[in-house]
Every structure is written in structure tokens, then in C-alpha cells.
Amino acid sequence: MIQRVFFPYFQSSPRRGRYSELNSMAVLETIARLERRILERFPESGLAQVCHDFLEQAHVQEGLARKLQNPVWALRIASFIAGTMLMGLFIWALVQVLNTFSHRVEGVSELLQAAESAINELIFLGLALYFLMNLEQRLKRQQALSALHRLRSIAHIVDMHQLTKDPAAVLANQLHTTQNSPERTLNRKQLTRYLDYCSELLALVSKIAALFAQNMEDPIVLSAVNDLESLTQGLASKIWQKIMILDLAEPENQA
């Protein structure tokens, strides 16, 4: 516990096994394969472009997640030098006070005043040291939260692409359409596969986000990753409700 609080840069990580962590390259390959699958079935769909853009973004976020797990030595050395200078300045001021101290009544009064000032300075010194020690963590946190925000936007875009994919419109033999009704060209099998691709995309969005949780131990980042996973699970559950409706309507013809 002492080492974790006072020496956060010297912690050793346990050895990770082959199946105890996400393989980022395998996740990226899965996204690329999903893009090819979508292009084979729906080459003109907007979902294929969404998956393509997501693949490009996933490469960027994977590189960032891998980068954030490495120490920023320049920042750590600068923080260490600044902290050492602050401690040296405090010690020098304390020595000066002790050298000028006398046992007369005036000296005791001056010492008490100096002690009060020293306590205030010590508090500010502690805050400055705390700021320097956590500067790297805050910078990494800001980058990770910005990346997670982009992934959250992608999840909502995927959800937008399935909003008009209504199973009732496909299953109904006679459906009155209006002038502003969305164009529905997918049959039952195609719609099931389209919705399945949407759910896979959402799952892969959460897996890219999980790379940040895997490489960082920041509680705020972990909370943001959990929130994004809850979002994708909630969106995927709506999609699977539609898939179940199609599945129960014609279970024997599903691909």
C-alpha cells in the first residue's frame, strides 16, 4: 500500500497470460473482417461506410491506448526536478529561520509567527507536489476520455442506422406507406443479417474502449469505459429484440 501511494512509478505488473488480456491486433482484424462481410452483402449501404470509418478510428485509438500505458519520462523527470527544487527551497527557508532564532521573548514571538507561515507554506508545498505527481495521470486521462467520447459517438451512429429497420414493416403483407416513409428494400433474411452486423459493430466499439481499461488504472477512465459498455449493451439489446421478432416469425429460414 505504501509503495502504491508514494512510489506509483515503480509498481510492477503481474505477468499476463495469452488469454488474460485483449489482443488489440485480433480486435482490429475482426473489425476489418466485419467490414468485408458488410461490403459483400450490402455494398451500397451506409453501414459499410460507418464500419470503414470505425476501422480507421479503431487503429488510431488502439495506438493511443498502447501509448498511454508507457511512462512519459520527460514529464516525470521534470516533475521530479521541480519537486526537488520545492523541497530544497522549503529546507533552505527553515534553516534560515533557525539560524536567526534567539531565546529572547521577541525571538520566541518571531518563531511562532514564522512557524505559522511555515505551516501555510508547507500546505501549499504539499498541494504543489501532489499536482506534479498527478500531472501525467491527468494528461493521459484527458486523452483517454476524448477517445472514449469519439467511440460513444460511433455507437450512436450505428444505432441511427438501425432505427428504420422495423421488423413489422417486413413481416406485414399489407403496409400502408406515406410520402415520408423510409425506403425498405431488405427482405427478412437480409434484415436479420443487417441487424446482426449492427450488434457486432456495437460489441466491437466496446472492445476498443476496453483497451483503455486494460492499459490504464485510472478510476475515472474505468468508469467511462463501463458507461460506454453499458451504452452499447443497451443499444444492442434493442437490436436483438428486432432479431428475435424476425427469428420467431420464420425460424427455419434464417441464415
CA distance 174 to 161: 24
Has residue 29 got a pLDDT over 90? yes
Residue 199 has which C-alpha cell?
450488434
Does any domain span residue 225?
yes
Has residue 44 got a pLDDT over 90? no
- Count the Cβ atoms, other than its own, within 10 Å of residue 121: 15
pLDDT at 236: 93
Has residue 27 got a pLDDT over 90? yes
Has residue 205 got a pLDDT over 90? yes
Does any domain span residue 177?
no
Has residue 149 got a pLDDT over 90? yes
Mean pLDDT score, 205-231: 91
Q: How many domains does the chain have?
A: 2
Mean pLDDT score, 121-133: 66
Has residue 187 got a pLDDT over 80? yes
pLDDT at 217: 83
Query: Of 39-53, 112-126, 148-162, 241-255, which range is least confident?
Result: 112-126
Domain co-membership, 42 together with 167: yes
pTM: 0.71
Domain co-membership, 243 together with 168: yes
Q: How confident is the model at residue 247 (pLDDT cuts 50, 70, 90)?
A: confident
Between these two residues, 173 and 41, which has the higher pLDDT value? Answer: 41
Domain co-membership, 101 together with 37: no
Has residue 97 got a pLDDT over 80? no
CA distance 250 to 149: 39
Q: How confident is the model at residue 106 (pLDDT cuts 50, 70, 90)?
A: low
Does any domain span residue 7?
no
pLDDT at 101: 58
Taking the alpha carbons at both ends of the chain, their separation in whole angstroms is 54
Domain co-membership, 109 together with 58: no
Residue 78: HSE in the Cβ half-sphere, 13 Å Cα cutoff: 10
Domain co-membership, 211 together with 122: no
Domain co-membership, 209 together with 240: yes
Mean pLDDT score, 99-119: 58
Residue 239: HSE in the Cβ half-sphere, 13 Å Cα cutoff: 26
Has residue 119 got a pLDDT over 70? no
DSSP string, 157-194: HHHHHHTT--HHHHH-SS----TTPPP----HHHHHHH
Does any domain span residue 82?
yes
Has residue 6 got a pLDDT over 60? no
Has residue 254 got a pLDDT over 50? no
pLDDT at 96: 65
Domain co-membership, 120 together with 217: no
Interhelix angle 188-215/46-68, nearest 10 degrees: 10
Counted residue by residue, the chain has a size of: 255
pLDDT at 67: 87
- For 62, the domain range is 22-70+136-172+186-250
pLDDT at 118: 61
Domain co-membership, 140 together with 225: yes
pLDDT at 125: 63
